[in-house]
Amino acid sequence: MVEHENSVPGFANEALDSVFAKTTTGMFEQIQAITNNPQGALQKALGELDEEAARLALTGEMIAPDNAVLEKSLRVYSNTLMLTQEIIRANAEAIQDAGASIAAGSVTAKVFLNLATKIAAEGNNPVTSTKIFIEKLKESGIQWRIP
């Protein structure tokens, strides 16, 4: 979490960071496991390519575009990118929904910036604790319903 003073932008950014982290952590862990696992297809293919490059360097040869090891590595790399793309797509709606989940509080806090600033100065989070707006506005005789 980013440290902030009790401010509306600080609370809004913290709320966004929090829902983003909760929503994407599993997705990023999956992608990391696919791409960084030493026993995974990508890392094995890259290791084989490194070995092939070293072998060719010893003989003074350069790797040719039609080199079988290079072609295999590029196929595996392409397949890995496609897989990670699918993982991201599968999580896209949840990520959007997570951001939208704090939108009402964030917009309310910005509409009532002076009140939100006062609430924040009291140490309360005006972005994620929207009930406090209803209470404070009710005390002032204003009926407000957060959509």
Using pLDDT thresholds of 50, 70 and 90, give the confidence band for residue 46.
very high
pLDDT mean over 24-46: 96
- pLDDT, tens digit, for every residue of 56-72? 999 999 999 999 999 99
Domain ranges, ordered by start, for the chain: 1-101, 102-147
Whether the per-residue pLDDT at 10 is higher than 80: the answer is no
**Is 69 within 8 Å of 48 (Cβ atoms)?**
yes
Using pLDDT thresholds of 50, 70 and 90, give the confidence band for residue 111.
low
Q: Six-digit token pair at 134? A: 């209803």
- The span from the CA of 147 to the CA of 140, in Å, is 20
Spatial neighbors of 117 by CB under 8 A, at least 6 apart, are 7, 8
Residue 1: the pLDDT is: 47
Whether the per-residue pLDDT at 41 is higher than 80: the answer is yes
pTM value? 0.65
Tokens 């994407």 sit on residue:
24
Residue 141: the pLDDT is: 81
